[in-house]
């Protein structure tokens, strides 16, 4: 098991108990929230520093093609490949494929979320917040769909949102919230 897998498991554990932790055993140390949890019955000790928001910039929001997935990109070759797969797919029958927007991968990391194929125009996906928590990052995603009484165009859509953040090698956890808009 890799270090990233271990950090990811630790981050997931932290998120599961974070509401409990917000009420117990927190201390401010040098401007950071220090959390210590000791559970003899579970046999683990967890120490983490509090959370901090990570600023992000939208590169692309709208349609694309592909399956439901979340992607982290830290190199130009992967970025070019993803851009081509998403926006220049033969499904669109395009004769011109725009070049991928420039991203400086020495200082930036790209995060991309794809909702996959949806049956109408009543769906969207948005990265709403990126947060560093301990030894990982949490990417909050909102998936929105129209309620049963709303009108939408009957057309296949592939909602997507692509952002960049300051360079990181920390393991991500993508957390999705679904909301329904009732008309």
pLDDT digits (tens, 9 = 90+) for 53-89: 999 999 999 887 778 999 999 999 999 999 988 877 6
The 3-state secondary structure of 108-129, one letter per residue:
EEEEEEECCCECCCCEEEEEEE
Distance CA(87)–CA(104), nearest Å, equals 20
Instruction: Give the SS3 label for residue 75.
Output: coil
Split at pLDDT 50, 70, 90, the class of 46 is very low
Query: What percentage of the chain carries pLDDT values higher than 90?
Result: 48
Q: Do 84 and 68 sit in the same domain of this protein?
A: yes
Split at pLDDT 50, 70, 90, the class of 164 is very high
Inform me whether the pLDDT recorded for 160 exceeds 50.
yes
Q: Do 9 and 96 sit in the same domain of this protein?
A: no
Q: Please give the pLDDT value at position 18.
A: 53
Q: Do 11 and 99 sit in the same domain of this protein?
A: no
> Between 80 and 32, where is the model more confident?
80
Split at pLDDT 50, 70, 90, the class of 122 is very high
Kindly report, residue by residue over 98-113, the tens digit of the pLDDT: 888 999 999 999 999 9
Q: Do 167 and 121 sit in the same domain of this protein?
A: yes
Inform me whether the pLDDT recorded for 169 exceeds 90.
yes
Total-model pTM: 0.73
Q: Do 43 and 65 sit in the same domain of this protein?
A: no
Q: Do 79 and 114 sit in the same domain of this protein?
A: yes
Distance CA(128)–CA(77), nearest Å, equals 26
Q: Do 33 and 84 sit in the same domain of this protein?
A: no
Split at pLDDT 50, 70, 90, the class of 148 is confident
Q: Do 85 and 44 sit in the same domain of this protein?
A: no
Q: Please give the pLDDT value at position 9.
A: 57
Positive or negative, the Cα torsion across 113, 68, 10, 79?
negative
The structural domain count of the chain equals 2
Are 132 and 51 contacting, i.e. CB atoms less than 8 angstroms apart?
yes
User: Whole domain around residue 39: which residue ranges?
Assistant: 3-49
Q: Do 73 and 40 sit in the same domain of this protein?
A: no
């Amino acid at each position: 098991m890799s270090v990233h897998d271990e950090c990811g498991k630790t981050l997931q554990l932290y998120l599961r108990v974070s509401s409990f932790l917000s009420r117990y055993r927190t201390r401010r140390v040098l401007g950071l929230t220090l959390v210590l949890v000791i559970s003899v019955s579970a046999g683990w000790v967890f120490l983490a520093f509090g959370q901090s928001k990570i600023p992000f910039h939208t590169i692309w929001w709208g349609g694309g093609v592909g399956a439901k997935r979340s992607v982290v990109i830290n190199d130009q070759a992967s970025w070019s490949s993803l851009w081509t797969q998403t926006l220049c797919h033969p499904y669109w029958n395009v004769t011109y494929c725009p070049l991928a927007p420039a991203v400086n991968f020495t200082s930036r990391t790209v995060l991309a979320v794809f909702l996959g194929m949806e049956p109408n125009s009543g769906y969207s996906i948005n990265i709403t917040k990126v947060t560093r928590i301990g030894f990982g990052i949490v990417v909050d995603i909102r998936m929105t769909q129209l309620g049963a009484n709303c009108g939408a165009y009957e057309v296949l859509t592939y909602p997507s949102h692509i952002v960049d953040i300051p360079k990181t090698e920390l393991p991500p956890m993508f957390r999705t919230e679904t909301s329904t808009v009732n008309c």
